[in-house]
């Protein structure tokens, strides 16, 4: 009887890669099922419940309520126009981040702005228009944290979403460093009032 050659045991790297692939595919399908309400409760109900504290009180502050009123007024003037919406990502160049690091920080800023809209105005005309017409993103640059904070204040004073990302400090830069500011999505004319003078990254 012929013997078959012994197969070498799978390497740790192969096992890890297979587990990561299975976890990724499983996570994707669970996320899709959750988004369509497969696990009970609609997305809107989940969003509404996330605004509540454990004790049942509303977690929004007076400032957040005021911000929502301003957003509503801005939307009224925007509804009658065909203006495009865009998201601007303003990265600091003084930190010496690599291209990959900047890309990761811009991804964080994009997600932070999107989550802001999901919390505050999931049915926003601005968000819907931005999603429908290509999700325009523009990467710009500044040279200091002070410039980031000034731009954030200007954007917020116009009623726009403006989120600064602070790095966890696990790789290239110090923990807590402000790396990227995301502004929008918002009408191009409004964003340009704040960032129109900046250079492309």
Give pLDDT tens digits for 118-158: 999 888 889 999 999 999 999 999 999 999 999 999 999 99
Q: Are residues 25 and 71 in the same domain?
A: no
Closest CA to 163 of 174, 177, 152: 152
pLDDT at 39 over 80: no
Token pair listed for 70: 């301003």
Residue 22 pLDDT grade (very low, low, confident, very high; cuts 50, 70, 90):
confident
Return the higher-pLDDT residue of 41 and 53. Answer: 41
Split at pLDDT 50, 70, 90, the class of 166 is very high
pLDDT at site 81:
76
The secondary structure of the chain, three-state, reads: CCCCCCCCCCCHHHHHHHHHHHHHHHHHHHHHHHHCCCCCCCHHHHHHHHCECCCCCECCCHHHHHHHHHHHHHHHHHHCCCCCEEEEEEEECCCCCCHHHHHHHHHHHHHHHHHHHHHHCCCCHHHHHHHHCCCCEEEEEECCHHHHHHHHHHHHHCCCCEEEEECCCCCCCCCCCEEEEEEEEEEHHHHHHHHCCCEEC
Q: Do 139 and 89 meet the contact criterion of CB atoms below 8 Å apart? A: yes
What is the total count of domains within the chain? Answer: 2
Residue 143 placed within a domain: yes
- Look at residue 34 and tell me whether its pLDDT is greater than 90: no
Instruction: Judge if 42 and 99 occupy the same domain.
Output: no
Output the pTM of the full model.
0.63
Q: What is the pLDDT of residue 165?
A: 96
14-23, 36-45, 133-142: segment of lowest average pLDDT: 36-45
Q: Is residue 86 part of a domain?
A: yes
Residues 150, 77, single domain; the answer is: yes
Q: 171 pLDDT exceeds 60?
A: yes
Average pLDDT, the chain: 77
Q: Crossing angle for the helix pair 99-120 and 43-50, nearest 10 degrees? A: 90
- The range of the structural domain enclosing residue 182 comes to 63-200
My answer on whether 42 and 124 are in the same domain is no
Looking at the fold, whether 21 and 107 belong to one and the same domain comes out as no
Q: Is residue 137 part of a domain?
A: yes
The model's confidence at residue 57, banded by pLDDT at 50, 70 and 90, is very low
Domain membership flag for residue 156: yes
User: Two tokens at 177?
Assistant: 């460093």
Question: What's the rounded mean pLDDT across residues 92-97?
Answer: 94
Kindly report the length of the chain: 201
Helix, strand or coil, per DSSP, at residue 31: helix
- Give phi and psi for 87, each to the nearest 5: -115, 125
């Amino acid at each position: 009887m012929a013997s078959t050659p012994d197969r070498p045991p799978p390497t740790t790297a192969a096992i890890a890669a297979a587990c990561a692939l299975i976890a990724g595919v499983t996570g994707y399908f669970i996320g899709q099922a959750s988004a369509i309400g497969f696990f009970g409760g609609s997305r809107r109900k989940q969003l509404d419940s996330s605004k509540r504290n454990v004790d049942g009180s509303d977690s929004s502050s007076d400032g957040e309520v005021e911000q929502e009123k301003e957003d509503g007024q801005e939307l009224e003037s925007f509804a009658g126009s065909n203006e495009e919406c865009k998201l601007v990502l303003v990265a600091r160049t003084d930190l010496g981040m690599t291209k990959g690091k900047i890309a990761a920080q811009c991804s964080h800023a994009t997600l932070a702005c999107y989550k802001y809209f999901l919390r505050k105005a999931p049915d926003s005309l601005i968000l819907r228009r931005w999603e429908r017409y290509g999700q325009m993103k523009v990467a710009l640059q500044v040279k200091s944290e002070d410039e980031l904070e000034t731009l954030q204040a200007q954007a917020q004073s116009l009623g726009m979403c403006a989120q600064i990302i602070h790095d966890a400090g696990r790789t290239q830069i110090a923990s807590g460093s402000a790396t990227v500011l995301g502004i929008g999505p918002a009408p191009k004319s409004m964003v340009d009032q704040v960032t129109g003078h900046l250079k492309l990254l």
